[in-house]
Each structure stands twice: as C-alpha cells, then as structure tokens.
Structure 1
Amino acid sequence: MFDSSRRRTLKTLACCSAAIAVPNLVFGKMNASDVKRWDKEFDAVVVGSGFAGSAAMLSLLDHGITNCIMIEKMQYLGGNSAYSGGSMAVAGTPIQERDGIKDDPESQIKDTLKSGHDLNDKELVREMIYKGPETFNWLVENGVNFKWVSRSGGHTVPRSHSAGAGSYITRPLQRKIIERGGKIATRVIMDEIIYNDKNEVVGIKVREKYEFNFDREFDENDNKSGQVKFYRCLGGLILATGGWGADIKFRQNFDPALRADVLTTNHLGATGYTARKLILDDIKFIDMQYIQRLHVTSADEPFFGFAYRWITRGYAYGIMINPKTGLRFVNEIADRKIGSDAIWSMNENGKNHPVLIMDIEGTKTVDIKDFQRGLSVGAVKKFDTIDELIAHYGINKEPFLDQLKRYNSFVDEAAKDKEYRDPEFKRNFSAYKGKFIKVEKPPFFASRPGPKVHHCMGGIKTTIDCEVYNNDMALVSNLYACGELTGGRHGFNRLGSNAVLDCLVYGKRAGAKLAQIYNAKRGA
C-alpha cells in the first residue's frame, strides 16, 4: 500500500548521497492496488525524449513493439541532447577512413578508462565502444547525416563525429518514430513508478498538461500543475530522463562546489526530480559525486552558447594562456576534468579568464555557420594583429610572445615526428587535412573559456542490457534505464562525445531488451 505521509517523511533522504548507500530501507512505493483505474495501456513507455529516449523508442518499433509511447515533461522535445554539440565518439568509421585517421575500439577504450581513472564499469565501456560503429550505421540508415570528424580533449585521435548539433540526431529519429506510427507526448511528467506485489513494474502515475516552471530557483517538487493519469506498462518502462546539472540543490549534495553562481550548459528541465523518486524506490545509484564541468563553453555567454564549436577547435589547433603571465598553464587537449580544474585554479573567482587563440588557418577548421554564431554574439573576437589581441585582453606581452614562439616551434617538431610531445605539457598535435597548424597568420581570433556544469557521470546501476538494480543488487523486473540517468560508463570523468555514444548505444539496447523479453512472454 502506498503511504504518502511516509513518502514525504523520506523525501529529505533523496537529497543526501548517504541515502544512496543505504541498501535495506523499506520505502513507500506505489502499489498497483492503489490504482482504481488505468487510464491508458501500453506495451512499453519511454520517459524522456533525448538521444537515449529517442533511440529506445525507435528500437522498440524496430523489434515489433508498436503500442508504445515516448513521454516528455517539457513543452519541447530533445532536452539537453537537442541543443548539445551532438558529437558522437566512434572508432572505425568511413569518415575516419576518408580523412586518413587510423583508429580502433581498443584505443578508444584505453582513452575512456584513462579519463575515468579506471573507475568505469569495464563491461559497460567495452559494450558501448564496440557497438559504436553498428549504432553509427543505424543512425545513418534512419536519416542522420554525419558531416565531419574532429578531436575532443582526452582522445588520442579525431573520432568525434558531428551531424552539426544534437537536434540533427534527435529530430531524424523522432521523424522516423512518427512515420512508423509511434506515439510521442509532451508536457507529461512521471510522478511515480507503480509496482505489483512481486516488485515488478506494471505502470506509472503521470500528470498530463504539465506546465514546467522556468524560474531557475524554483523547486520542481513544488510544481503541482497537470492532470493525474495512470498508464499501464504491459511490457516494461524505459527511463531516459537525463541528468540534473541544472538542479542547484540536488547537485550540491554530491559536489558542494557547484554553487548557484556556477552556470550550467543544461536546459532548465535537467533536474533531479526523477532521480529523487528513484532513490526513494530503493533503486541503486553509483558515482553520484562525479559531476563534470565543460570547458569548451565561453565565460561571455550565460548558457551553453554559440562559441563552443570554435573553442573546441581552438583547443586542438590553438594556444591557451593565462593573460596575467602570458603563459600556457595546461595541455590544451587534456580531458574536461583536467582542463576545467586548471581554468578554475587560475581564474581568481571569475576575475581572470584564460584566453584561447587561433589564427585564420585554425579558424578555417570551424564550420562557417558555427564560427559566425560565436562571432555575432561577441564570444569569439577578431583581431587584425597580434598586438591588438594583446592589448584587448591585457596580456603580459613579452612572456606571451616568447611563449607563442615556443608553441609554434612545438608544432613544427610535431610535423616532423608524429610521436612528438611538447616539453611543457606533454601535448601531442593533430594535423588537419594533412597540415599542422601554427598560430601565426592574421587575422587572429580569440575567446575566453569558462567551465560550466555539464554532465552527471553517476546514476542508476544497470546491466549491459539496461536492466536496473535495486540496493540489494537484485534486478527490478520490467524496468530499464539508459542515458545520463545511468552510471558506470564514464567513471571519474567523461570524455567528450562519449556521452552521445553512451545514450544512443544503450537507448537502442534498452528497447531491444524490453522487446526481447516481452515478445517471448506473449509468444510473438
């Protein structure tokens, strides 16, 4: 029997990381006996419409589950996925072959485990990476057009495949879902998972016509809008609700440094609303203390912004310096954790931002539309001479000019020896279309990187088939989870573009596993 007063008493536990480690608390789960009438009945329900949710929904249809629905609490589809960079890290693709890039899954696994400090679930990592090419091809077959491949921090070679933006992946998948008769509903929030007496998931309590409150300080738990409905899930429930980077109170329970003044790339709907409820339902969470800051965003934009494409290429083909010293202070292509920590340690509580610089040749590596967006909002700036750039940012001139000369000499050495590492930060260098790019040819362009809360590495513990564990390490029947809501794939720190891979590989796999089990039960 569902005990609402007990649930309210236990609500505060959902705000404490310690609650996650408690294995045997008996929470007030909602039981099927509390449901007087099912309003709607589906073979499967997917909660969330980003990369993972869209992949899961299309995968259900691929495997014959047609009476299914994907629900989204926001007024729009896609969540963080839709306006993210949308680059997918895959080793061994035709695009890499076209560009002469030699790569293999074992190299990507090695990079992933290194960035994750070997705290990753290695079985999940291997499955994610080895299924990359297959998932890449599946996306192409379903209308996704990957345009180029670039190198994200922490990867040893360029393997981040971009379609242009995250929506260039979510929208084609959602079009396919609609074309094939799948149902998608916005403004539907899941409030409760409903279990039977065997602890099997049999449905969900939702509110339709939900009105999300876009006040950044508003606690979503206080939002009572919408009409209560009960959905029966005959085959199962797939959770793909994403992370909680925009939930200031919730994220601070796991990383107190992420105060309200620390901005985020996340859309405002990225809250801990679902995670809190799952914790109360005795679902096992891991790695919650690992929340990533993204350092390819601009300090001059209050959200994800438009400069990130230029900044991403700037790390690969440019130089970043501390303007006070005029010197480099970190390997520009280090992973996000190392890069963000280095920037935070030198920026004096926001008073001293680093300056990232590329010349015209480096800037030509950026898609022209992406470059123009960053330039138009002032997050990327153009200078006809290096002296103009130095004056604008108040850079310590003589040390900087010496540093720039050394940097360019490092690029020259790398052009002669692919194994070369610069003596200052052990950075290696990548060619662009066969050419190694220095910072020497005007005009020059610059931006000020500013790390923002970006990705939650922790989340629900699952099997490689996205089946969900409770705190007793027993599987919860008919419940699956994928995407940023899950943990174990990334460990201590996520490599750039591995999240899109994670969401799509495991979203696709969640749909396939639910269908396999349900089709077997009903003899399909």
Structure 2
Amino acid sequence: MKKIMAMLLLFSLSLTSAACGNGAKSSIPDGTFEGTGNGRGGEIKVSLTMKDQKVSDIEVLENQESEGLSEAMNILKEEIIATNNLDVDIVSGATLTSVGFRLAVQDAFSKTGADKSLLVKKEKPAPEKREEKYDADVIVIGAGGAGLTAAITAAENGMNVIVLEKMPMAGGNTLISGGEYAAPENWVQEKEALEDSADLFYGDIMKGGDEESDPALARILADKALDGAKWLRDEVGMIFEDYMLFFGGHSVERSLVPKNATGYEMIHKLTEKLKETGSPLHLETKATELIMDENGRVTGVKAEYHGQVIEYTAKKGVIMASGGFGYNKEMRAQYNEEMGEGYLSTNSVGSMGDGLVMAEKIGASLVDMSFIQAYPTCDTQSGALLYVGDVRMEGRSILVNKEGKRFVEELERRDVISKAVLQQTGSVSYMFWDASAMEDSGMDVKHAAEYNGLIARKQLVKADTLEEAAAFFEIDAEELKKTVENYNQYAKDGKDLEFNKRGKLVPFGEGPYYIMVSKPAIHHTMGGIKINTEAQVVSTEGKVIEGLFAAGEVVGDIHGTNRLGSNAIADITVFGRIAGESISK
C-alpha cells in the first residue's frame, strides 16, 4: 500500500510539474500583448497591458469600425479596466463592434499564457449618484438628431435645457444612418445648374407617401429643408461632400451627402454644439412617464437611471424626440401584421416606441401607425443598412435576381423595391456594378470598413469576370450577361425600355465586377404622435396638449405611407428646430 501511495504521489507531482511547465501559468506576467478579433467592419487589433495581475491599459491599434460605433470600444475599455474582467457586457446598439473588441482583448490576454481565472475581478463601480430632482426650462427626451437639434435651438433662445437619453451613447438612428439630407435649390445643385424647387420637393413628398401626408406638415418640410441644411453647415459646422445622391422617388438629384457619408458627422457636430450651450446630456436615463399638472399641462418627466427614480421638472415644457418603434417586433406586429417577426431591422436597439406609449397614455393622438417601411438593400445576416449599396443611388448599378434578370426599377420607392425583392428566389436581390462605378463612387474607400467586412462574410464578391462573379452566388451567368447587354443598349439609346429607370443611364464596362447580396429590413416607422405646424402635440380630441412638443421619427403624418430616402434627416432638422423655437416662446 505504501508503494502504491508513493507511486500515486509521484505521478501526481509529475502531472503538476507538466502542467506548470507546459500549460497555463500560475500568475499573470507583466507586459504588453497584442490580439485581434472581428467586428462589424473587419479586424480589430488591440494591445493589452498587464501589471500586478491587473489590466492597466488597452489600446486600439487598428480597426475598421465606423466612427460612431467605435465609441463603444472606449466604453468597454473603461469597464474592463475598472472591473479587471474581460467578459463585460456588450454596449447596446453596437453589438458586432463590442463582440469584436472583446475577442481582440481576450486573444491578447491568451498570449500571457495565464488562465482568465487568475484575474481577480473587482466590483463594477457604482454609477454616479444623481439628484432626486432636476429643474429646467425644457426637458428633451432623446439625443438623436431631432432631440439634439431641438435642445440646441431652445438653449440658443435662452432656455435652460436638459437632454435625456436611455442609451449609453447619443445618436439613435441618425448615428447609424447614411446622413444624407434632401434639400431643394441647394448649393451643389446651384453649382451643377440643376433646376429644383420647394414646390417640386413638396410634390415628391406627397406622391411618395401616396398623398397620405398632412399637407401642412409636408409643406413646411419642403419650404424649410434648405434653411435647415444651411443651419447645419453654417451654425453647427457640419461638413457636406461636394456631390449629391439620387434617392428613389425624387424627381431630381437633391440629396446632400455628409462627410464620410454617415450620420456620425451630424451627431458628432450636434453633440459638440450642445456642449457649447452648456446643456447637460444625461445618458443611460430612460424617461418612463410624463408629468401633468391639474390643468392638463405637461410639466416634467419621470425617469430611471440605474434603478434610481428621478423627477425632471420643465417650466416651459417637454420635447418628445425618442424615435420610432422599428426595433420593436411586437409593436410592429400590433399595427401591421406583415411587418412583425419576419423582418430584421436597420434600427438602433433603442427604437422601441417608448415615447409613443408615454404620449398615448396622457391622451396624445397617434396617426399612421400601420405605415412601416422596409429598406430594400440591407445586410442579410444582421439587417444593418448597407452604405456600400449607395452606388445604386448614383445610378451606377442594377438589381437582379437568382435568375440573372432585373425585376424592378432601381430608383423606385423603397417600399416598391422591397416588395419586389421579397417575390424573388430566396427573397433577396443581387446588386451588380462594374469597376468604373466603383471608382467613381468610391464606396470601397468611403466605406472601407463595411466593404471589407462584407467581403470577409461572403456577402459581396469582387471578380475579374462577370461569369466568375455570378458563379460566386450561383446566379445564372448567361441570363446576367444578356441583362447587362440589354442595359448597355438602353444606356446607348438613352431610355430603359424595361423599367424606365430615371436619371442618366451609364453603360457597364470592363471588370472587375461586383455583386452584393441583400434583403429588405425594417427601416422607418412613418406613424407616430400627431403634431400641428408648431410641433405641439395634439390630443385624441383634436386639442393641443400644452407643454408637450414632438419632433423626429416619433411624429406621424409627415411622410404618409412611405418616406423618401434622405427626407428623414431634413425632417428631424426642420421640426427639431421648430420644436425648439416653439417651446421657447
């Protein structure tokens, strides 16, 4: 027995020795280690610095994430260092970026040779303690484009303003949009000698929404869109590119493009402008209830911040700019059965319709709630808006099906294209373009992160020949060749005989050729709170609810059944400014 025990002890010691020599280390070495992970735009590379068994620093060495979403990495970095924990929660609204960053950090830690269990986790620091009550002239609910615009306008009119945002970052849907802005008679049109007018724009809004828009609201949007764009450019400091896009349903090319063609430029500049006004932005603060006095006037908001209930009083009133309900499957299905469970969404995860619920609870009228729009060319895996697909708005691509045939006008309304896509094999479309279109549009440079990510995920192919590109997605190559030949003839003759495509027809030339697969996803909810021309909320009885104003996607009856592309940024700017002006009177 003694011999057996001695042998077992010796065997055990040998295993321990082997584990220490060849397996995980018994302590975490000091030093800096590099790791990689894949985010939304491709590879994220970080360096992780360990000191005294703790994470002391994380530096992002390389990344291809969009500017707005990259803020999520800063949030995660701070939490990992504060808690000494590599498995912190993802940042809402930036899932793929968060996952990629965490994987990169974990990969870097693996280079230490130590096990994660050696990290002594610390309690997450308690959030800052807020006051139980705040007093202001104006409370704005939502820090997207409409909310920030309204807050800045009110503040510049002398109002004391506080902005509430339930998400950990400002921006909402504006941040993850392309940020294009429809404005008739704009400076780029003037330079290119393109004729346009507010009347023509108004007609497009009404026609695009099947004449279901409130004519008075549509008229204001058309008349004030250019002023709003100039305000963003001249007062806010927003930079626009020196070209435009031609969105479906518009009669002419009138959509201004922000720097880098994303909504980050608008949100970044608006946030900086808000700071200049000295107006506080309370993040991770979810408004839950509107407060009314005995006369039925809205006088404030109740909100929650990490379990703490806070009351915000508003002497002049509240501006509701909480966005739509495009991410809320249940609410979508409640108002339109077809738009529920079966669709992914381009929207921020914060687009849950909270503001609609709060407003309806105090008697606000909700209108057009069944009008929900799908964007036709979205990521088949995540539902995200595909900026690379904007080559379509430059009129330099065609949409084909699995059979290699066109099936819709590429510059039609979003709802028309989306319905047509859903009728094709696999309920997807394939966007085809050539080398000259890519070179002229620069989509692989402007949106390099997305482009590289699509290539890596096999959602987009670049090939030297048409046949090779078609084979990648198992598209009928012979039919695609015929389709391209027909289109080139239409371009030569100056008329699309199949679908009467608007705009200038440009023939396809030499390769390389590109094909991107996409599918429709929920993009915009046209329904919402009823307002008057002063952005005052109207009750179910047709009366103004004193002290309550609204702007942005939370508002209904502006776009009718269908919003035209790039009209949303004009909408949130125009009515955000009106709300800020009206509440200041």
TM-score, scaled relative to structure 2: 0.74
The correspondence for 2:472, drawn from 392, 396, 411, is 392
The correspondence for 2:510, drawn from 430, 433, 441, is 441
Larger Rg: 2
| Cross-structure match for 1:166 | 263
Q: Is the 8 A contact 1:460 1:485 kept in 2?
A: yes
Measure how far apart 1:423 and its partner are. 1.9
| 2:577 corresponds to 1:515 | no
Q: Distance in 2 between matches of 1:52 and 1:372?
A: 28
| 2:441 corresponds to 1:370 | no
1:341-374 deviation digits (Å, cap 9, x = unpaired): 0001214xxx352211010111121344334233
| Cross-structure match for 1:240 | 321
In structure 1, give the amino acid aligned to 2:410.
E
| 2:138 corresponds to 1:44 | yes
The correspondence for 1:180, drawn from 269, 273, 277, is 277
Q: Distance in 2 between matches of 1:303 and 1:47?
A: 26
352 and 465 in structure 1: CA distance in 2 versus 1, 3 angstrom threshold: closer
Corresponding residue SS for 2:316: strand
| 2:212 corresponds to 1:153 | no
| 2:542 corresponds to 1:473 | yes
| 2:575 corresponds to 1:506 | yes
Measure how far apart 1:254 and its partner are. 1.1
| Cross-structure match for 2:387 | 309
Q: Is the 8 A contact 1:200 1:476 kept in 2?
A: yes
Q: Distance in 1 between matches of 2:412 and 2:330?
A: 29
The correspondence for 2:528, drawn from 459, 462, 481, is 459
Q: Distance in 2 between matches of 1:492 and 1:129?
A: 17
Q: Distance in 1 between matches of 2:484 and 2:249?
A: 23
In structure 2, give the amino acid aligned to 1:375.
Y
Q: Distance in 1 between matches of 2:478 and 2:302?
A: 65
| 2:333 corresponds to 1:270 | no
The correspondence for 1:427, drawn from 487, 501, 510, is 501
Q: Distance in 1 between matches of 2:444 and 2:463?
A: 17
How many residues align structurally? 445
TM-score, scaled relative to structure 1: 0.82
Q: Distance in 2 between matches of 1:408 and 1:468?
A: 52
Corresponding residue SS for 2:377: coil
The correspondence for 1:345, drawn from 423, 436, 442, is 423
- Superposed, 1:37-186 pairs within 5 Å as 39-65=133-159, 67-141=160-234, 142-147=236-241, 148-163=243-258, 164-186=261-283
Measure how far apart 1:162 and its partner are. 1.6
1:297-328 deviation digits (Å, cap 9, x = unpaired): 232x41325xx22212235211111122x211
Q: Distance in 1 between matches of 2:516 and 2:387?
A: 11
The correspondence for 2:405, drawn from 327, 330, 336, is 327
The correspondence for 1:356, drawn from 431, 436, 439, is 431
Q: Is the 8 A contact 2:421 2:427 kept in 1?
A: no
Q: Is the 8 A contact 1:244 1:270 kept in 2?
A: yes
| 2:492 corresponds to 1:412 | yes
RMSD: 1.6
In structure 2, give the amino acid aligned to 1:241.
S
Q: Distance in 1 between matches of 2:557 and 2:195?
A: 28
Q: Is the 8 A contact 1:38 1:230 kept in 2?
A: yes
1:380-401 deviation digits (Å, cap 9, x = unpaired): 3211111111222222233322
1:148-204 deviation digits (Å, cap 9, x = unpaired): 311111112221112121121011111011112111110111111111111011111
Corresponding residue SS for 2:509: coil
| Cross-structure match for 2:13 | none
| 2:562 corresponds to 1:493 | yes
1:66-98 deviation digits (Å, cap 9, x = unpaired): x11111011111111111111111111112222
Segments of 5+ residues of structure 1 without an aligned counterpart are 1-36, 210-225, 415-419, 431-435, 517-524
In structure 2, give the amino acid aligned to 1:45.
I
In structure 2, give the amino acid aligned to 1:510.
A
In structure 1, give the amino acid aligned to 2:430.
V
| Cross-structure match for 1:381 | 461
Q: Is the 8 A contact 2:323 2:355 kept in 1?
A: no
| Cross-structure match for 1:290 | 371
394 and 482 in structure 1: CA distance in 2 versus 1, 3 angstrom threshold: same
1:209-244 deviation digits (Å, cap 9, x = unpaired): 3xxxxxxxxxxxxxxxx2111111100100000011
Corresponding residue SS for 2:545: strand
| Cross-structure match for 2:483 | 403
- Of structures 1 and 2, the one scoring higher in RCO (CA 8 A, sep 6+) is 1
Q: Is the 8 A contact 1:152 1:312 kept in 2?
A: no
Stretch deviating more after TM superposition (437-446 or 190-199): 437-446
Q: Distance in 2 between matches of 1:253 and 1:366?
A: 41
Q: Is the 8 A contact 1:309 1:370 kept in 2?
A: no
Q: Is the 8 A contact 1:192 1:205 kept in 2?
A: yes
Measure how far apart 1:38 and its partner are. 7.5
Corresponding residue SS for 1:231: strand
373 and 102 in structure 1: CA distance in 2 versus 1, 3 angstrom threshold: farther
In structure 2, give the amino acid aligned to 1:493.
N
Corresponding residue SS for 1:451: strand
Identity %: 27
1:15-49 deviation digits (Å, cap 9, x = unpaired): xxxxxxxxxxxxxxxxxxxxxx9811100000001
Q: Is the 8 A contact 1:284 1:460 kept in 2?
A: yes
Q: Distance in 2 between matches of 1:156 and 1:318?
A: 19
1:467-516 deviation digits (Å, cap 9, x = unpaired): 00110000000110000000111001000000111111100110001102
